[in-house]
Amino acid sequence: MQFRTFTGNPVKSRTHCVVVGVHDKNNLSSSAERLDKTSRGYIKKVLARGDMSGAVGQTLLLQDVRGVQAPRVLLVGLGKARDLDTPRFLSILNSASQALAKTQTKQALICLLEIDVTDRSLAWTSQRLVERFLESTYRFTEMKGKPPKKPNSLTRVDLLVSPDDTEDVKDSIRLGEAVASGVTAHKNISNLPGNICTPTFMADAAKNLAKEYASITTKVLSEADMTKLGMGAFMAVSQGSDQPGKMIIMEHQGSAKADRPFVLVGKGITFDTGGISLKSNAGMADMIFDMCGAASVLGTMTTIAELNLPINVVGVIAAAENMPSGGATRPGDIVTSMSGQTIEILNTDAEGRLVLCDALTYIEKYNPVTVIDIATLTGAAIVALGSHASALFSNDDALARDMLDAGTATHDRAWRLPIWEDYQTALNSALADMQNVGGREASSIVAACFIARFTRKYRWAHLDIAATSFKSGGAKGATSRPVGLLTQYLIDRAREYGA
């Protein structure tokens, strides 16, 4: 799908469909007014029949409107102008893209950037439009024996803008396309089943990224490498599986080699049975998504490489499979992490924090500016926040604010929870330096407190995305969150550093 700017008269556009907005009570947007005037009041006459009220997300397709060059005009409901906020605008974009997909339209002129969205700029609305339209075309059909017929998809989208705004909108198009590339990369790997998406498969995907982008280099640590480094916590998870674990390191060099990098660390459990602390059958099939944290790192690295962001970024994926076997870790086993701290493993189904703690120790060598880990870590995050917000924890207030701001900017929101020292007592062990679980109370917080013990040498944040990273049931699939938040955070840092 190609995006272009258009500064002409929508009445005279020879596109296949012109998309214009209609507010509540059938108040027309400026472009809709132009089309109505050309058609001698036809649009208002149609609306007066009551088939559309202008409510948010309503659509009405008109054919062969008098005086309009395009054979189709799509009316899209905008609701009340004063109520047009971010969620409503995103809903409008979804409705428009879905309505176009039901037609044979290959080219469209979108006249929705002329509307005002509360507290949002033209740069923001145009980027979101590009992202939403591209994401609306995504279908995961790789595992179908006979892929279903794809719905109609646009090949070209023109965005109506004023001449003065053309260059700014072109920049937003570039950003939107790059983010969409990362979203697609995330979904393509997250939606694969565990028998295909193994730790080795993930390592190969990271190597392929380095082949595609000159700014990326990838190296992979084997289990032998990790054993030499003393990653006993990681190996405690991986040792039960026939699939060898991998520590995958992708480095994007966008500035001087000596510049300190920003680091992302993703939990990459490619399938999680719970190990000896076996999960129940209900919902276990969804554990193909227990590597969504790793996929978000891969997706974000794709976007920043596409943009060639002028900062250094390191993306680390701790990839392993959590399986029961004769060689698997037993509840009660004590292991030594790379940090030298010992861990009593009371529950082998609390494995994500074990692979993360060694990865978070490993990245100390980079002297990072900030570190963000991303993990489908706890079911308690689902109970606490539902699917609207990822749970955010941090040892640095400024970093937390920057991430919350990035989430608000992209509508990929997070909510900060505490990691007070009071919660650390839940991890006390009589036999080791710590145990890997506490009780039922505040289990998302306690899990974050466990990770915090391995992050005291740098500014760190943890995103628990258990509730936001995928959907179950008939709509089963990865959501791509928090690729939007992470990429916006890094784009903001690149701007902050004067690039």
* Residues known to be catalytic: 279, 353
Cα torsion 54, 59, 60, 61: sign = positive
225 appears as a binding residue in the annotation: no
Cross-strand partners of 6: 160
Backbone angles phi, psi at 209, to 5 degrees: -60, -40
**Residue pair 365/342 in contact by the 8 Å Cβ criterion:** no
What length does the chain have?
499
496 appears as a binding residue in the annotation: no
Residue with tokens 């080219």: 107
CA distances from 145 to 135, 197, 217, 248, 349 (A): 23, 18, 35, 31, 34
Distance between CA atoms of 135 and 123, rounded to whole angstroms?
Answer: 18
Distance between CA atoms of 257 and 263, rounded to whole angstroms?
Answer: 14
183: amino acid identity, one letter:
V
Distance between CA atoms of 20 and 60, rounded to whole angstroms?
Answer: 10
**Residue pair 189/197 in contact by the 8 Å Cβ criterion:** yes
DSSP-derived pairing of the beta strands 470-471 and 477-478: antiparallel
233: amino acid identity, one letter:
A
Residue with tokens 């660390």: 265
Q: Give the residue ranges of DSSP H helices in 311-458.
A: 352-362, 380-385, 397-410, 443-452
**Residue pair 294/477 in contact by the 8 Å Cβ criterion:** no
441 appears as a binding residue in the annotation: no
267 appears as a binding residue in the annotation: yes
Q: Residue 262 is inside which H or E element, if any?
A: strand 262-272
Distance between CA atoms of 314 and 477, rounded to whole angstroms?
Answer: 27
Q: Which residues contact 61 (CB under 8 A, 6 or more apart)?
A: 72, 73, 74, 75, 99, 103
Q: Name the nearest CA neighbour of 383 among 417, 345, 355.
A: 417
290 appears as a binding residue in the annotation: yes
Binding site residue list for Mn(2+): 267, 272, 290, 349, 351
Binding site residue list: 267, 272, 290, 349, 351
